[in-house]
Chains A and B, each alone.
Chain A
Amino acid sequence: MTAGALLLVAAAVFSIGLFGVLARRHAIGVLVSIELMFNAVNLAVAAIAWSRGLVAGVVLVLFGIAITVAEIAIGLALVLLAARVRKTSVLDDLDTLRG
């Protein structure tokens, strides 16, 4: 196991998450994908910290996790709001603002 290999795995998860963001129809599915992306980044940070012996990396991951949770909270609140106001959670239906 090397940090490089771990980075590669992280990159793969990041890309998968990005795919999900682009391709998921349902808003919550997209949020799940975003979580995957953040998780991949956290993993990458940890791998780098491990490789360079950097305790600050751990702090960075912790911050990352905290912020991710905050983001997901806001994101879900917005999705719920959309569900309430617009009666839909499918992102493609939210296309009144255009042009």
Chain B
Amino acid sequence: MIPALVTLCGPLAAFALIGLLPPLRRAGRPAALLSIAGIAVAALASGIQAVPYFRGVAAPATYEFLWAPLTGAPSIRFGLLVDGLSASMAALVALIALLVQVYSLAYMASEKPASLGRYYAYQAFFAFAMLGLVLSHNLLQTYVFWEMVGLGSYLLIGFFWERPEAGRAALKAFWTTRLGDVGFALGILVLWGAAGTFTFTELFAKVGGGAVAGSALSLGLAGITLGAMGKSAQFPFHVWLPDAMEGPTPVSALIHAATMVAAGVYLMVRVAPLLSHAPELMSAIFAIGVLTAFLAATMALVESDIKRVLAFSTVSQLGFMMAAVGSGGAGAAYFHLLTHAFFKALLFLTAGSLIHAVGSNDLFKMGRLARAMPVTAACFAAGALALAGIVPTAGFFSKDEILASVLAGGHPLGFALLVLTAGITAFYIGRAFFLAMLGSHDAEGHAHESPAAMTAPMAVLAVLALVGGALAPSIPRLFAGTIAPPAFEPETAPVFVPILGTLAALSGLALSWLAYQRRSFDPGAVRRAVGPVATLLERRYFVDDAFELVYRRAYLGLSSVVGWFDRYVVDGLVNAATWMTWLVAGRLRGMQNGRVQDALYAVAAGLVLLAWLALGR
């Protein structure tokens, strides 16, 4: 348990110090080093902690304390859960965070010291929140950290706050994920109402014992799934992720590729033992996953911003994972989560390196960078191969497992679509590689290789992306060390699965090579040929527009209706009442005309009134 606490405390201490000591924050570099030290401690501790789980020799451990005592209902306990899943995930998060923070030291070097301090404060905060999320032992605490990583994301996306787009993107990210979190919160409520607990272990036990009504379980899980969809940018909540690329690139690597966006999948893997009790929901998750994977990949085809290509790719890959969860292959999903973290973080970091060199995100402004930046190019290639799923990179193994589990789950159509998506994936990443690294013209500016602080993390990740497939045997061991170990049956996937997958990937790569390197055909012509489809893709299936419309019409419209109603009707009545009183008072005052005999009428009238009261009834 102590390593887990150390894991959490490292970044927390760094954040607290940087946050509470303005001079430290304003100094910039010391703050950065402090943050790196914190995350390094966390990485070390979590690494040590994870090893036994990878070897399959550790049992789950929990630590909890009373957080909110309640009467009339079970008190809320918070705590840490260390098991195969959380320990390995924590190690992953800490590792990548460490690499990214080191990388940022060089990448963000041109920022003003105060800005840099702020950046590292956010980074430390995010690391703490993400680790907390991973190590949570109950749903509510997960939600707590879930929102906190959302905040970290918001802050980091909007890091360049003076750019209007950055502020806008940050808002969009926060709002969209929050929309899903409405479901998450309600889901927690529903589950709590049905099971009376937030804790995973108790929840699993109760559900397993049949103590929870099926409908409530489905409803609650559906809510939680909505939350996961928001966080993991599943269709139609994917809209925020491409825009989130307004943030600094290392942030994109850490948050919007490797860790936070994967939290949704992580959560689904975590609750997978419950999901099996809600088969309809499983199907829905599968459908969403496949759809997301495919649509996002298609959108990546027409994107020219390198980071957005990668962002769509992330969405697509998360779709793969979701599909795996939906088809019952939580292990496959988690495996892909790990490998994806390696290669996608790597891709983003290399993209950052490119952008750093070129000063632009636009693929078409890059070219022949491989010559000037060999390390970067090599790393990019490694990442691209892993993403495309070429043997023997990490991506190959994990994607293969997903495809196998999908097929085993009895979704042949989905399987086909995913294979197709794999092809598209290979094509767009190939396109990016050829445009940026090789190509026919030189990039603008004077490209140069990035400093060691940047290339070293890239190199580490590149290695991991290439050999990460070796983790495959560890996955069942990890799962055996969770609180609800699944009955793993060594799946024997049909032999055609990896072959199909590899074929699709190779053909995708080949096609991109033909189009962008060999120039065998003009991609522009293709685009013109399929005009409406291309427009559809370029407009991102109009989902963003739909959100915009809802925001403008539904929210702002309703808002002004309510505002108007309040000012002129509700308050209008109040004002009208006072105004009437005012007028009546004035009229009465006018009747007091100073003529005493007119006033004496009142005496006579009063006399008559009293006499009537006395006698009349």
Residue ranges of A at the interface with B (Cβ–Cβ < 8 Å): 18, 21-24, 30, 91-92, 94-99
Per-residue interface assignment for chain B, residues 591 to 606, with 1 indicating a CB less than 8 Å from any chain A CB and 0 otherwise: 0111111001100100
CB atoms of B592 and A18 under 8 A apart: no
Cβ-closest chain B residue relative to A94: B596
Q: Given A22-B601, A92-B597, A98-B593, output 5 extra A-B contacts at Cβ < 8 Å.
A: A22-B600, A24-B597, A94-B594, A95-B593, A99-B592
- Indicate whether B589 reaches chain A with its CB closer than 8 angstroms: yes
- The reply to whether B597 and A91 contact each other, CB–CB distance below 8 Å, is yes
A23: which B residues are within 8 A, CB to CB? 597
With both beta carbons as reference points, the residue of chain A lying nearest to B586 in the complex is identified as A99
Are A95's CB and B594's CB within 8 A?
Answer: yes
Contacts of A99 in B (CB 8 A): 589-590, 592, 594
Question: What is the CB-to-nearest-CB distance from B392 to chain A, in angstroms, rounded to a whole number?
Answer: 101
Which secondary structure dominates where chain B touches chain A? helix
Query: Smallest CB-CB separation from A18: which chain B residue?
Result: B604
A92 touching B604 by the CB < 8 A rule? Answer: no
Closest to A92 in B: B595
Distance in angstroms from B426 CB to nearest chain A CB is 92
State the CA gap A98–B592 with chains docked (Å).
Answer: 6
Q: How far is the CB of B405 from chain A (nearest CB, A)?
A: 91
Work out how many contacts link A and B, with CB atoms closer than 8 A: 29
List of A residues within 8 angstroms of B596 by Cβ? 91, 94
Q: Which of B559-617 contact A (CB under 8 A)?
A: 589-590, 592-597, 600-601, 604
From B594, B601, B604, give the contact of A97 (CB < 8 A): B594
Bound-state CA distance A23–B595 (Å) is: 12
Query: Which 5 pairs between the two chains have the least Cβ-Cβ distance?
Result: A98-B594, A95-B594, A95-B595, A92-B595, A99-B589
Interface residues on B, range: 10 to 19
Which residues of the other chain, A, contact B593 by a CB distance below 8 angstroms?
A: 95, 98
Which of A95, A97, A98 has the most chain B CB atoms inside 10 A of its CB?
A98
Q: Which residue of B lies closest to A19 (CB)?
A: B604
Q: CB-nearest residue of chain A relative to B596?
A: A91
Q: How far is the CB of A52 from chain B (nearest CB, A)?
A: 21
Residues of B within 8 A of A96 (CB): 594
Instruction: Name the B residues within 8 Å of A94 (CB-CB).
Output: 594, 596
A-B contact pairs, 14 of them (CB 8 A): A21-B597, A22-B597, A22-B600, A22-B601, A23-B597, A30-B597, A92-B595, A94-B596, A95-B593, A96-B594, A98-B593, A99-B589, A99-B590, A99-B594
* Residues of A with C-beta under 8 A to B590: 99
Which residues of B lie under 8 Å from residue A98 when comparing CB positions? 592-594
The complex places the Cα of A99 from the Cα of B599 at a distance, in Å, of 12
Give the nearest-CB partner of A15 in chain B.
B604
Point out the residues of chain A lying under 8 angstroms from B592, CB to CB: 98-99
Contact of B595 among A18, A21, A24, A91 (CB under 8 A): A91
- List residues of chain A with CB within 8 A of the CB of B604: 18, 22
A95 to B597, CA, bound (A): 10
Q: In the bound complex, how far is the Cα of B601 from the Cα of A59, in angstroms? A: 32
Instruction: Tell me, rounded to whole Å, the shortest Cβ–Cβ distance linking B596 to chain A.
Output: 6
Minimum CB–CB distance for B346 against chain A, Å: 87
Chain B residue nearest to A24 (CB atoms) is B597
**Chain A residue with Cβ nearest B607:** A18
Give the residue name and chain of the B residue nearest to A96 (CB): B594
Q: Out of A21, A92, A97, which one reaches B600, CB within 8 Å?
A: A21
How many Å lie between the Cα of A23 and that of B594 in the bound state? 15
Instruction: Report the Cα distance A21→B594, complex, angstroms.
Output: 16
In the complex, chain B residues whose CB is within 8 Å of the CB of A24:
597
Q: Give A59 to B304 CA distance when docked, in angstroms.
A: 117
User: Once the chains are docked, how many angstroms separate the CA of A94 from the CA of B600?
Assistant: 14
Chain B residues, Cβ within 8 Å of A21: 597, 600
Measured between alpha carbons, how far is A22 from B598 in the docked complex, in Å?
7
Q: How far is the CA of A91 from the CA of B601 in the complex (A)?
A: 14
Residue of A nearest to B604 (CB): A18
Q: Please name all residues of chain A whose beta carbon is closer than 8 Å to the beta carbon of B600 when the two chains form the complex.
A: 21-22
Distance A96 CA – B597 CA, assembled complex (angstroms): 14
In the bound complex, residues from chain B placing their C-beta under 8 Å from that of A95 are 593-595
Chain B residue contacts of A97, Cβ below 8 A: 594
Report the minimum CB–CB distance from A10 to chain B (whole Å). 16
B593 CB to nearest chain A CB (Å): 6
CA distance A39 to B593 in the complex (A): 30
Q: Name the distance in Å between A26's Cβ and chain B's nearest Cβ.
A: 11
* Bound Cα distance from A18 to B592, whole angstroms: 20
Contacts of B601 in A (CB 8 A): 22
B594 surroundings in chain A (CB, below 8 A) = 94-99
Closest to A30 in B: B597
CB distance from B287 to the nearest CB of A (A): 79
A46–B594 Cα distance when bound, in Å, is 37
Minimum CB–CB distance for A20 against chain B, Å: 10
Inter-chain CA distance A96–B596, complex, in Å, is 11
Docked complex Cα distance between A18 and B604 (Å): 8
